[in-house]
């Protein structure tokens, strides 16, 4: 662990319950927020993986919440999942990768969907009012002016708590003026954004497990 400097905190390989998840979790087909508040939806029974070389986010907040969704792809069995909800007013991501693994019983194969975007510093992924519902995260992170232990209802950074998040008003939250994450590897259940720009977007389908981001 590196030394702490005034106005900033740096941690390595941190646990998701105490750190921000990354904006790179965003998926084109997951759903868009409507204005400042994202609409709620039932999440699928599949997590997706996301990796990124670098995320810079301004106006960050993180707090606990519950996602309601399905246990499988049959669309019948319902469940709830605890998640760490990370939100950013704005975010820029370099070398974003997202992958989803799906079992297809009818053909007896596993299919992988992979998205790549933001290939370099001149062509980054850009997002506004971004929310990520995260299950696990590994990265190196630096926060500027971080507050840990803020009540959710009293947070002053990041976009407003979105509709349908089931977040406890007096629950634990943390916030920061900005966050930089490097070497990101995460799994997530859902993402919403007010706007989402994916420069250099590439999408591929295949059966090779090497198509996964990590």
Q: Domain residues of the chain, as ranges?
A: 8-209
The predicted model gives 57-62 an average pLDDT of: 97
Backbone φ and ψ of 164, nearest 5°: 85, 10
C-alpha–C-alpha distance, residues 208 and 32, integer Å: 30
Residue for token digits 């590439």? 202
Closest among 119, 128, 129 to 96, alpha carbons compared: 119
Answer whether residue 78 shows pLDDT above 90. no
pLDDT value for 29: 32
C-alpha–C-alpha distance, residues 17 and 11, integer Å: 13
pLDDT tier, 34 (very low <50, low <70, confident <90, very high otherwise) = very low
Answer whether residue 100 shows pLDDT above 90. yes
C-alpha–C-alpha distance, residues 87 and 104, integer Å: 33
More confident residue, 200 or 13: 200
Answer whether residue 187 shows pLDDT above 50. yes
Sign of the dihedral through C-alpha 207, 190, 132, 130: positive
pTM value is 0.81
| Secondary structure letter of residue 37 according to DSSP | B
């Amino acid at each position: 662990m590196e030394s702490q400097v005034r106005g900033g905190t740096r941690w390595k390989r941190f646990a998701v319950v105490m750190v921000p998840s990354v904006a790179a979790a965003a998926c084109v087909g997951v759903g868009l927020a409507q204005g400042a508040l994202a609409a709620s939806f039932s999440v699928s029974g599949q997590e997706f993986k996301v990796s990124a070389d670098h995320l810079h986010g301004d106006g960050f907040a993180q707090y606990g919440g519950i996602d309601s969704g399905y246990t499988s792809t049959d669309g019948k069995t319902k469940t709830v999942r605890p998640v760490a909800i990370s939100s950013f007013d704005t975010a820029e991501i370099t070398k974003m990768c997202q992958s989803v693994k799906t079992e297809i019983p009818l053909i007896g194969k596993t299919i992988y969907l992979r998205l790549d975007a933001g290939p370099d510093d001149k062509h980054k992924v850009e997002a506004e009012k971004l929310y990520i519902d995260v299950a696990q995260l590994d990265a190196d992170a630096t926060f500027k002016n971080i507050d840990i232990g803020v009540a959710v209802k009293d947070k002053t950074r990041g976009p407003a708590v979105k509709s349908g998040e089931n977040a406890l008003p007096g629950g634990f939250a943390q916030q920061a003026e900005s966050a930089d994450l490097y070497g990101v590897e995460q799994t997530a259940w859902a993402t919403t954004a007010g706007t989402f720009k994916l420069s250099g977007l590439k999408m591929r389908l295949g059966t090779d497990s090497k198509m996964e981001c990590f």
